[in-house]
Structure 1
Amino acid sequence: MNTSLDCIPCLLRQSLDAARLVTADASIHERLLREALHWAEDMDLTASPPAMAQCLHRRLREMTGVVDPYCETKAWQNRVAMDMLPRLQAEVEACSDPLLMAARLAIAGNAIDMGSNGRLTEQDVRQALERALEDPFHGDVEQFRAAVFEAETILYLADNAGEIAIDRLLIDQLLPRTITLVVRGSPVLNDATQEDAKRVGLDRMVEVIDNGSDAPGTILSDCTQDLRDRFAAADLIIAKGQGNYESLSDEPGQLFFLFKAKCRVIADLVGQPIGTQMLLKSRGAPAPGRAPAARTA
């Protein structure tokens, strides 16, 4: 998707939130914001919002020398999610539709997003997970269920720290299929990296790779050739989070987006209220020469 004019204030807020995490020096805050305002004059609105955010966060790291401004934030988010995981696992095991329950909890975990809420607290995280089944839900559930049944290889594009711990619930439902979990290649916002996947034990469940990119989404042209090859070959791609939706919404194939609609731009695009849990199949044209793999029960 293209960057909307309404995305610009959000990108500016992100840059200021991140700068304040790094330093209390108001002169750096001002300098970064002035640079961002100047840069916004020539912003390429045909690019996706994650591409714009990538540029801003790179500049922040250059100015401050801090590689991962959200390091401490991600640590507590992983801890809180892991603390809640056993109870959530029990709820999945006890319900009549464990695949859907795990998917909805994984989507609820997408609330752990510092891009949309720079003041996110532990209480916010706990409430989001505790009320997972109370939030409105809209999705292509039966198409998703059928795609999972038919798939032999699944590419799972992760999004945020904390959220990645809750992804374990859905990944457990997808096993024993061959699953590759994809994280960011470098720190950006509170997006999950290899370190986060290891902290929540996903490296012991599935293969974990990084995409080689520092964008808060999946910009295929900015990713490694290995990631692009796996993306093209996978029977099913599960893309978590709004950033992945923003950067991949026009891609074809067996691609499903699991995210919370967290802003007016996305809510209007999907035609659902802000806060809705979304499970959407890509509306891109079918990939040429691709057919889903047959799978027997």
Structure 2
Amino acid sequence: MKLYLDCIPCFQRQALEAARMVTDDEEKQEEILRRAIKELLDLNWDRRPTEIAHKIHGMVKEMSGDKDPYREVKKKYNDLALALYPALKEQIKRSNTPLLTAVRLSIAGNVIDFGASSNFDIHRTIDEVLVKEFAISDYKKFVERLERARKIIYLADNAGEIVFDKLLLETILSRYEIGKIIFVVKATPIINDAMYEDAIYVGIDKIPNIEFMEIGAGSDSGITRESKTFLDMLKESDIAISKGQGNYESLSNVDGIFFLLMAKCPVIARDLGVEMGDIILKGS
């Protein structure tokens, strides 16, 4: 997905929010924000939004000396989601359409996204998403691909959200003969994106036939979502499931992916042709 002008003030908001995470010193916060504004003016706006976000958050980490400003946020929402897990597992079990319920819950978990907003209510979101109509639904095609699949690549998005992904993967494995699941997480911290340590913390490693892959967030980060190595892996998989806005921004022009997300910002909503707050299961 291309960068929209509306992305620029969002990057400024993210920089200030991250600065406030790492210091209470308003002078330091201002220094970080001013540097972010300068970086945004100097960067090439033809780059993908995810690449610019990587630069801005890298700058915040460099200036603050804190390699993971959202460390406590990630733990908080991992713990919150784990507390919800037993009841949600039971809800899927009781459902007349367990896979669809698990898909909906996975999308509900996507609200835990500090890149889009820190103002959300996960309990209310779950209730709403379980009954909300999809703005875009390729669910039938999704099921058809799962029926033939033996290898899944699953691109995770945020900490906390990955507990909801765990529910979806467990539901898929209970219905289909999947031989391998590659669970893709970030190699380095950026906002509240899930990393390997988060996946282990919430028990993703206990899912049968699971493997992990770590990818970078920017073009200078080794294997990334946009690198040929990773794109070739996507093509070789039987089905690729992509969670959230960031993965959509990077991979929306790639064929063969199912995007599961909530439209949490006007830019994503506009690009998808939906309204803010809509839920999406879109096959590319």
With normalisation by structure 2, the TM-score equals 0.91
**Match in the other structure for 2:183:** 181
| Runs of at least 5 residues in structure 2 that lack an aligned partner in the other structure | none
Q: Deviations over 1:74-105 (max 9, x none)?
A: 11101111111111111111112111110111
For the Cα contact (< 8 Å) 2:108–2:122, is it kept in 1? no
Given candidates 217, 236, 239, the residue that maps to 2:239 is: 236
Q: SS state of the match for residue 154, structure 1?
A: strand
Q: SS state of the match for residue 259, structure 2?
A: strand
Q: Cα distance 1:221–1:137, how it changes in 2: closer, same or farther (>3 A)? A: closer
For the Cα contact (< 8 Å) 1:108–1:128, is it kept in 2? yes
Q: SS state of the match for residue 156, structure 1?
A: strand
**Match in the other structure for 1:270:** 272
**Match in the other structure for 1:291:** none
Q: Cα distance 1:141–1:148, how it changes in 2: closer, same or farther (>3 A)? A: same
Identity of aligned residues (%): 39
Q: SS state of the match for residue 110, structure 2?
A: helix
**Match in the other structure for 2:58:** 58
Q: Tell me, in whole angstroms, the C-alpha distance in 1 between the residues paired with 2:11 and 2:96.
A: 41
Divergent runs of 4+, >4 A: none
AA paired with 2:249? Answer: E
Counting only pairs closer than 5 Å after superposition, residues 63-74 of structure 1 correspond to structure 2 as 63-74=63-74
**Match in the other structure for 1:211:** 214
Q: Deviations over 1:138-178 (max 9, x none)?
A: 31111111111111100000000110001111101222412
**Match in the other structure for 2:112:** 112
Given candidates 122, 127, 132, the residue that maps to 1:125 is: 122
1:33 lines up with 2:33 in the alignment: yes
For the Cα contact (< 8 Å) 1:165–1:200, is it kept in 2? yes
Given candidates 251, 259, 275, the residue that maps to 2:261 is: 259
Q: Cα distance 1:136–1:85, how it changes in 2: closer, same or farther (>3 A)? A: same
Residue 222 (structure 1) shift: 5.5
| Runs of at least 5 residues in structure 1 that lack an aligned partner in the other structure | 283-297
For the Cα contact (< 8 Å) 2:226–2:250, is it kept in 1? no
Q: Tell me, in whole angstroms, the C-alpha distance in 2 between the residues paired with 1:203 and 1:6.
A: 38
Q: Tell me, in whole angstroms, the C-alpha distance in 2 between the residues paired with 1:211 and 1:198.
A: 13
Q: Tell me, in whole angstroms, the C-alpha distance in 2 between the residues paired with 1:49 and 1:221.
A: 12
**Match in the other structure for 1:290:** none
**Match in the other structure for 1:199:** 201
AA paired with 1:275? Answer: G
